[in-house]
Amino acid sequence: MTQAKNGDTVRVHYTGKFDDGTLFDSSREREPLEFTIGREQVIPGFEKAVIGMSPGESKNTTIPKDEAYGECREDMIVEIDRNTFPKKIEPEIGHHLHLNQANGETIIVIVVDVSESCVTLDANHPLAGKNLTYDIELLEIL
């Protein structure tokens, strides 16, 4: 039977959970995820898990944070003076904001703290610093 290998485009369904069993994402209620192995379209640990699977096969795998979104980096958490924050935006904890960088790229940050004088923003990926467990079903190799 054919097995997924580097360079193959595959379609999978997946369910992702944290170590405590809390669901954080699933493709089951939408279109399957399609990606090409080796093109870094998904996290490295997910690619590694799919390699060697055959269509119709399912597996459960835990991906350590260093093969997922990495450690949560303190240098990606910044405090900005509330007076420099745009007046038209009322910051609230949990809000996602799009910031334009000097190089023209846009990054997404999350408001993690708000005080009278400061707003704290976190540019880490929301899944950074976490081990992730996936149930993966390889539907087909295209």
Q: Which of 9, 7, 5, 12 is nearest to 138 (CA)?
A: 12
Task: Name the residue range of residue 53's domain.
Answer: 9-70+128-141
Q: Are residues 133 and 105 in the same domain?
A: no
Per DSSP, the three-state class of 76 is: helix
Same domain, 83 and 109: yes
Tell me, yes or no, whether 54 and 102 share the same domain.
Answer: no
User: Looking at the structure, do residues 64 and 15 belong to the same domain, yes or no?
Assistant: yes
Q: Which residues contact 54 (CB under 8 A, 6 or more apart)?
A: 1, 2, 3, 4, 138
| Overall domain count for the chain | 2
pLDDT, mean of residues 15-37: 97
Tens digits of residue pLDDT in 66-86: 999 999 999 999 999 998 888
Q: Are residues 21 and 47 in the same domain?
A: yes
pLDDT score recorded for residue 87: 84
Which two tokens mark 65?
A: 């944070």
User: What pTM does this model have?
Assistant: 0.84
Distance CA 137, CA 134 (A): 10
Chain-centroid distance, C-alpha 1: 31
Q: Do 63 and 18 belong to one domain?
A: yes
pLDDT in the model for residue 86: 82
Whether residues 107 and 135 fall in one domain: no
Residue 138 has pLDDT above 90, yes or no: yes
The span from the CA of 4 to the CA of 50, in Å, is: 7
Render pLDDT for 27-64 as a digit per residue (tens, 0 to 9).
999 999 999 999 999 999 999 999 999 999 999 999 99
Instruction: Let me know whether 82 and 62 are in one domain.
Output: no
- Mean pLDDT on 6-34: 97
What's the pLDDT at 1?
Answer: 79
What pLDDT sits at residue 133?
98
User: Where residue 92 sits, what CATH number does that domain have?
Assistant: 2.40.10.330
Nearest to 14 by CA among 118, 45, 102: 45
The CATH number assigned to the domain holding 19 equals: 3.10.50.40
Task: State pLDDT tens for residues 97-128.
Answer: 998 888 999 999 999 999 999 999 999 999 99
